[in-house]
């Protein structure tokens, strides 16, 4: 998890790191990502 020592956010951090490394598609993050990442705005 690199230098992202945030307690309780391990799953989200792993997803963000996978996205940034190019192994995860950005649309998947917006559809199933954590709250407040713009999913509702994208859907509108």
What is the structure's pLDDT at 5?
Answer: 59
What is the structure's pLDDT at 22?
Answer: 74
The residue extents of the domains of the chain are 10-43
What is the structure's pLDDT at 13?
Answer: 76
- Contact status, residue 10 vs residue 22, Cβ threshold 8 Å: no
What is the structure's pLDDT at 17?
Answer: 80
Buried b / exposed e across 5-23, counting CB within 10 Å, b at 16+?
eeeeeeebbebbeeeeeee
Tens-digit pLDDT profile for residues 1-44: 556 555 667 777 787 787 778 765 655 555 666 677 666 666 66
What is the structure's pLDDT at 8?
Answer: 67
What is the structure's pLDDT at 14?
Answer: 80
């Amino acid at each position: 998890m690199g230098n992202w020592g945030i307690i309780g956010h391990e799953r989200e951090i792993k997803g963000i790191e996978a996205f940034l490394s190019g192994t995860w598609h950005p649309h998947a993050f917006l559809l199933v990502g954590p709250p407040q990442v713009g999913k509702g705005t994208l859907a509108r």
